[in-house]
Amino acid sequence: MIQDRDILVVGLQSFDSEIGSNCVNIAHEFSVNNRVLYVNYALDRLSMYRSPNHPLIIKRKEVLAGKRKALQQISDNLWNMTPALLLEPVNGIRPHFLFNMLNKKNARKFASAIKNHLEKLDFTDLIIFNDSDFYRSFYLKEQLNPKTYLYYTRDNMVATDYFKRHGLYYESRLMQKADAVVANSVYLKDHALQFNTNSFYVGQGCDLELFNPRRVKEKPVDMQNIPNPVIGYIGALKSARLDISLLEEICREKPGWNLVLVGPEDEVFKKSVLHQMSNVYFLGSKPLEELPTYIKYFDVAINPQAVNELTIGNYPRKIDEYLAIGRPSVATQTRAMSIFEDYVYLADGNAADYISCISRALQENADKLEEERIRFAQNHSWENSVKEIYKVIEQIEEKQNSTE
User: Looking at residue 99, which CATH number applies to its domain?
Assistant: 3.40.50.11010
pLDDT of residue 255: 98
The reported pLDDT for the residue numbered 101 is 96
Burial 321-337 (b: 16+ CB within 10 A, else e): bbbbbbbbbbbbbbebb
Q: In angstroms, rounded to a whole number, what is the distance separating the alpha carbons of residues 242 and 177? A: 34
Residues 63 and 176 in one domain: yes
Asked whether residue 196 falls in the same domain as residue 217, the answer is: no
Which pTM was predicted?
0.92
**Which residues lie across from 345 on neighbouring strands?**
330
Q: Looking at the structure, do residues 345 and 395 belong to the same domain, yes or no? A: no
Residue 401 half-sphere exposure toward CB, CA atoms < 13 A: 6
152 lies in a domain?
A: yes
Q: What is the pLDDT of residue 72?
A: 97
Sign of CA dihedral 181, 186, 191, 197: positive
**Do 196 and 268 lie in a common domain?**
no
| Same domain flag for 253 and 172 | no
- Examine the domain organization and report whether 78 and 13 are in the same domain: yes
CA distances from residue 147 to 126, 132, 136, 137 in whole angstroms, order as listed? 5, 19, 20, 16
pLDDT at 312: 85
pLDDT string in tens for the chain (404-residue length): 899 999 999 999 999 887 778 999 999 999 999 999 999 999 999 999 999 999 999 999 999 999 999 999 999 999 999 999 999 999 989 899 999 999 999 999 999 999 999 999 999 999 999 999 999 999 999 999 999 999 999 999 998 888 999 999 999 999 999 999 999 999 999 999 999 999 999 999 999 999 999 988 899 999 999 999 999 999 999 999 999 999 999 999 999 999 999 999 999 999 999 999 999 999 999 998 999 999 999 999 999 999 998 888 889 899 999 999 999 999 999 988 999 999 999 999 899 999 999 999 999 999 999 999 999 999 999 999 999 999 999 999 999 988 87
Residue 252's pLDDT is: 98
State how many domains the chain has: 2
For residue 335, what pLDDT is reported? 86
For residue 1, being part of any structural domain is answered with no
| Neighbouring residues of 187: CB distance < 8 A, sequence distance ≥ 6 | 312, 313, 334, 335, 336
Whether 331 is covered by a domain: the verdict is: yes
CA–CA separation, 300 vs 360, rounded Å? Answer: 10
Q: What is the pLDDT of residue 403?
A: 81
| Residue 324, domain member (yes or no) | yes
Cα distance between the two ends of the chain: 22
Amino acid at 160: T
Same domain for 30 and 124, yes or no, is yes
Domain that holds residue 167: 6-205+381-403
